[in-house]
Amino acid sequence: MTVVDEARAAAGLLTIVPVGRRAIPDGSEGGAALWFPLVGSLVGVVAAAAYGLGEALLGSFYGAALALTVSAILSGALHHDGLADTADGLGVRGDLTRRLAAMRDSGIGAYGALALVAYTLLATAALARLSPPDAAGALVCGHALGRWAALAQLTFVAPARADGLGAAFSAEPLAFAIGSAVAVAVTLVAGGVLAGLCAVAGAAIAAAATALLAHRAVGGRTGDTLGAAVLVTELVVYSVLAAYLVT
């Protein structure tokens, strides 16, 4: 498959943006993960623009809420669905089969709803503490590193089952290395060197924790655990930057 096909596959998965009339060839998923951090960065830029508009109209809290709303819409709420389903699966008492079944249920249970509310409140509060330029930069950093966390899980955690997004997409070590370089570079530019390094460190811990949780709790990665990794890492990045930059 061509590089363009792989980039289109990544954009088609991670956003609702039309990727062209020509059908994406089968097999493009194999190399699409390489593009996750870059696609995330572009979503972050749009979210940052929404933050700027909202902050100018009604202040920082409104700007943060608007940015997160725009990001969720642009991503088709894909990651939010994954976070909710993962939380519901972790809340099930039983074996792996019951957890995976709960994660595939299209409804959202109490744990899933709580996870979504917690993410929204905590992320909005963290972004609202930052100055407008820092908040805009944090959104770009969080989106790039959040998708990098999904790339890491695709590289180092085996699929929990043979079907679904967790099995359809994968990543090789070289793709992970290139994607990591892109994510770090974007973060250092958008967040500044010292703050960016703190954000990268926080993202690495979040990515490792969510990958380990996916392996131990449900036997591997699924599309839902990938989505959960994205939003958990985003939240950690926003929180780290708020703690570092706000004196």
The whole-number average pLDDT for the span 29-44 is 89
Q: How many CA atoms lie within 13 A of 37 on its CB side?
A: 26
Measured distance CA(243)–CA(168) in Å, rounded: 37
Collapsed DSSP state (helix, strand, coil) of residue 221: strand
pLDDT tier, 12 (very low <50, low <70, confident <90, very high otherwise): confident
- For residue 30, what pLDDT band results from cuts at 50, 70 and 90? low
pLDDT tens-digit map of 173-224: 999 999 999 999 999 999 999 999 999 999 999 999 999 998 888 888 888 9
Average pLDDT over residues 103-117: 84
Higher pLDDT, 141 or 171: 141
Higher per-residue pLDDT: 26 or 179: 179
Q: What span, in angstroms and rounded, lies between the C-alpha atoms of 229 and 214?
A: 9
What's the pLDDT score for residue 218?
A: 84
* pLDDT for 22 beyond 70: no
- How much is the average pLDDT of 59-71? 97
156-173 pLDDT, tens digit each? 999 877 777 777 778 889
pLDDT at residue number 67:
98
- More reliable by pLDDT, 96 or 186: 186
**Domains in the chain: boundaries:** 37-245
CA dist 214 → 77, 151, 209 (Å): 20, 14, 9
Q: Are 104 and 112 in contact (CB under 8 A)?
A: no
d(CA 157, CA 155) in angstroms, rounded, equals 6
Helices (H), 59-109: 60-74, 78-90, 96-104
Find tokens 């097999």 and name the residue: 27
Query: Taking all residues of the chain, what is their mean pLDDT, rounded to a whole number?
Result: 89
Q: What is the DSSP secondary structure assignment for residue 76, as one 8-state letter?
A: T
Residue 211: CB atoms within 10 A of its CB come to 23
Query: What per-residue confidence (pLDDT) applies to 92?
Result: 74
pLDDT value, residue 107: 74
CA angle 171, 149, 61 (to 5 degrees): 145
Query: Quick check: 151 and 179 in contact, CB under 8 A?
Result: yes
CA distance 94 to 170: 28
Q: Between 158 and 108, name the one with better pLDDT.
A: 158
Q: Cα(first)–Cα(last) distance of the chain, in Å?
A: 49
Query: What are the b/e assignments for 50-81, b being 16+ CB within 10 Å?
Result: bbbebbeeeebebbbbbbbebbbebbebbbbb
